[in-house]
Structure 1
Amino acid sequence: MREIKFRFWDNVINNMYYGEEVSKSKNELRHNWYCITKEEGLMVGNVGPSGMDNYGLIVMQYTDLKDINGKEIYEGDIVHLECMLISDEIPLDGVVVFEEGTWWVENEEERRAERLWGECNYLRVKGNIYANPELAGD
């Protein structure tokens, strides 16, 4: 079964937090809350959907994939991948996005995209579009 996890970029203090979704019911309405922790695993707090904008948080979902070094891959990550396509290995550096019901590595500059879980021999996280925007063009 797929693991559902999230991380959050804080636009105010430029920091990444990790969390998991916690659903709470109130008067039969379903509210999604996120338990937010720092990378070190320390609890920061809880935030609901209406608080995301108030706190300057950008939500990114886990792809359920890990790179060659065992690092979890999230939406918004900048990755390097090498895929074998008809006996040619074609490298691609791009941003992980979720479109058309699947995960893609997209390079807008080259106008090219590959499925994230395609026939890839090598996949490595280089950074993410918030903490390392300069890597998106490499």
Structure 2
Amino acid sequence: MNTAYRVWDGEQMYYWGDVNLNLLIKGKEWTLYKDSAGLCPDIVASSQDGKSVFLKVTDQFQTHGKLRPIYASDIVQQEETAPGGLYGPEPFIGEVKMIDGQWCIVNEKKEECRPLFSETATNKVLGDVYQNPELLEGVE
């Protein structure tokens, strides 16, 4: 089974489908390996190293510009497209998180959470919390 994922190792983001990378998941532990010329593959990142993070893909895609999957920890801007929409015309920016089995956009400063899926709104990925943490600093 191929499942989209990405891994942040504290310095760099790795994506499923990257050449020469393999992910091994055993129970609750995971390891990202890079094929090498030798007999033993090189460990790139692991759940045991204390700095790496395994990020799952959501079931949603960016609906602005280039179609791309949305991952956990992405920073997303959601805008209503329907007049008199449920949340009003103001764009909503927050981090994508799984809450009670549903992918949500969470704005901790506003103490607000919205579903990532919406039939009346568009989602645009602005960055992610690891490579672009400044995107959440001024969010109100």
In 2: Cα distance, 1:94 partner to 1:78 partner: 5
The answer as to whether partners of 1:23 and 1:33 remain within 8 angstroms in 2 is yes
Higher strand share: 1
1:33–1:136 CA distance, 2 compared to 1 (3 A):
same
TM-score (norm 2): 0.70
2:48 maps to which residue? 53
1:107 maps to which residue? 107
| Runs of 4 or more consecutive aligned structure 1 residues displaced over 6 Å after TM superposition | none
1:89–1:15 CA distance, 2 compared to 1 (3 A):
same
Instruction: Check if 1:79 corresponds to 2:89.
Output: no
Q: Taking every aligned residue pair, what percent have the same amino acid on both sides?
A: 27
When structure 1 is superposed on structure 2, of 53-62 and 85-94 the one drifting more is 85-94
Q: What are the equivalent positions in structure 2 for 1:1-138 lying under 5 Å apart?
A: 4-11=3-10, 14-19=11-16, 33=30, 51-54=46-49, 56-67=51-62, 68=64, 69-83=66-80, 84=82, 85-86=85-86, 88-137=88-137, 138=139
Residue 107 of structure 1 deviates from its aligned partner by: 0.3
Residue 71 of structure 1 deviates from its aligned partner by: 2.0
1:115–1:33 CA distance, 2 compared to 1 (3 A):
same
Considering only aligned residues, what root-mean-square deviation do their CA atoms show, in Å?
2.9
1:120–1:34 CA distance, 2 compared to 1 (3 A):
farther
The answer as to whether partners of 2:29 and 2:48 remain within 8 angstroms in 1 is no
TM-score (norm 1): 0.71
CA deviation string 1:77-96 (max 9, x = no partner): 00100134348334200000
Q: Which runs of 5+ in 1 are unaligned?
A: 25-29, 38-43
How many residue pairs end up in the alignment? Answer: 121
